[in-house]
């Protein structure tokens, strides 16, 4: 019998560290660029066109008895190959519903923090490594770094009985299309972005706001100007407990400052951020970034991507006892990795100078994020 797995089911399999054997039938270059990975995941790549006339080549390499998931770009090819494998007598065979496009778009909602003043949800885009957040207080909510799947945030707000009043983007994203402007139009919320990022639509400039207050409790979101990844990168410190760090600080690294072609200049800004601004924050502040690189390394025991600032400092040598010259040299040496796919067009869309159809937006976002310059092993 042929089975189907949804992106949500695959995400839960990875988070639970369950065993899974994946046969990826996309072409080799697509597979090498971006794949489903996990601690107990085995991978085999055989292009679909090598399996059209028979799956014997695959059968000889697929272990008997393990759960098998066949994946392709959109679903059709993987379903065809999975059917052939079932006909050959194998059991526990699945194909990925919607293919890697569906995998790219799935978001996992988890709770990060809750006290009498605030509740925070994290939305993990498992297939992209992108993170967004909803901060709830009283009857209001603030959304941080929203994806383009804006219906999700509206649904959560409705279920929680709150109104989305504020939306912030920590920077002009290069690997995915922001939903900030669309969500603001749909909800009437105020949308905040750094003026220095060059957006051409209407928004509230974060340069003009030291904090954003919620009406029911004494909850402040302090906009800490933290350049480094882009000149207008911002972090948000909530109640001196939670640091929404954008792409400035990750659980396992720092934001890459080379996308604008001024790596040493922006690395100097990143140094000032790390050693002058973030260094003043307490070790028990919880860092909540806009991206992650490895789910197995960065997902904590509570089930979300985040870590205490003190733990990040301890593990990340770039944040400890580096003089400015050595820091800039280290960042410059590691920053020239592969750029996010289609990043120039994505940035143009996020800036509002270009438009794209939903199909084109989906196409542009296929692939991994590449926003960090350093990750510990």
The answer to whether 72 touches 31, Cβ cutoff 8 Å, is: no
Q: How far apart are CA 149 and CA 131, in angstroms?
A: 12
Give me 176's structure tokens.
């995915």
3-state secondary structure of 212: strand
Q: 2: which strand partners? A: 93
CA distance 290 to 16: 22
- Residue 60 CB-half CA count within 13 A: 6
Three-state SS at 280: helix
Among candidate residues 10, 72, 263, 364, the one labeled active-site is 72
Tokens of 272: 């000032």
Any alpha helices (H) in the chain, and if so which ranges?
7-15, 28-33, 56-59, 76-87, 99-105, 150-160, 180-187, 263-272, 295-298, 309-315, 324-334, 343-351, 358-365
Residue 72 known to be catalytic? yes
Q: Give the distance, in angstroms, between the CA of residue 75 and the centroid of all CA atoms in the same chain.
A: 23
Give the separation between CA 203 and CA 191, rounded to whole angstroms: 5
Catalytic annotation, residues: 72
């Amino acid at each position: 019998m042929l089975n189907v797995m949804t992106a949500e089911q695959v995400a839960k399999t990875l988070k639970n560290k369950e065993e899974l054997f994946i046969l990826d039938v996309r072409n080799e270059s697509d597979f090498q660029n971006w794949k489903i990975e996990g601690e107990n995941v085995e991978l085999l790549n055989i292009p679909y066109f090598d399996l059209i006339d028979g799956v014997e080549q695959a059968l000889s390499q697929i272990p008997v008895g393990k759960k098998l998931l066949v994946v392709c770009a959109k679903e059709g090819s993987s379903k065809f190959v999975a059917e052939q494998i079932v006909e050959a007598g194998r059991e526990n065979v699945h194909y990925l519903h919607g293919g890697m496009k569906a995998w790219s778009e799935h978001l996992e909602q988890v709770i990060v923090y809750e006290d009498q003043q605030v509740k925070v949800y994290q939305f993990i885009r498992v297939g992209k490594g992108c993170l967004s957040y909803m901060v709830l207080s009283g009857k209001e909510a603030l959304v941080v770094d929203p994806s383009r799947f804006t219906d999700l945030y509206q649904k959560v707000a409705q279920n929680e009985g709150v109104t989305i009043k504020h939306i912030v983007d920590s920077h002009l994203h290069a690997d995915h299309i922001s939903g900030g402007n669309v969500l603001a139009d749909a909800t009437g919320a105020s949308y905040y972005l750094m003026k220095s990022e060059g957006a051409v639509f209407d928004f509230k400039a974060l340069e003009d706001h030291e904090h954003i207050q919620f009406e029911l409790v004494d909850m402040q979101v302090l906009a800490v100007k933290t350049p480094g990844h882009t000149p207008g990168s911002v972090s948000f410190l909530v109640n001196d407990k939670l640091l929404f760090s954008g792409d400035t600080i990750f659980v396992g690294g720092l934001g890459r400052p080379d996308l604008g072609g001024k790596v040493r200049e922006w690395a100097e800004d990143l140094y000032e951020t790390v050693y002058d601004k973030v260094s003043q924050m307490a070790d028990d502040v919880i860092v909540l970034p806009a991206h992650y690189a490895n789910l197995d390394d960065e997902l904590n025991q509570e089930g979300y991507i985040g870590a205490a600032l003190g733990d990040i400092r301890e593990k990340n040598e770039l944040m400890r006892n580096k003089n400015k010259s050595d820091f800039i040299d280290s960042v410059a040496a590691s920053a020239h990795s592969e750029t996010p796919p289609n990043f120039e067009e994505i940035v143009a869309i996020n800036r509002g100078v270009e438009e794209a159809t939903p199909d084109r937006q989906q196409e542009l976002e296929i692939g991994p994020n590449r926003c960090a310059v350093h990750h510990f092993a």
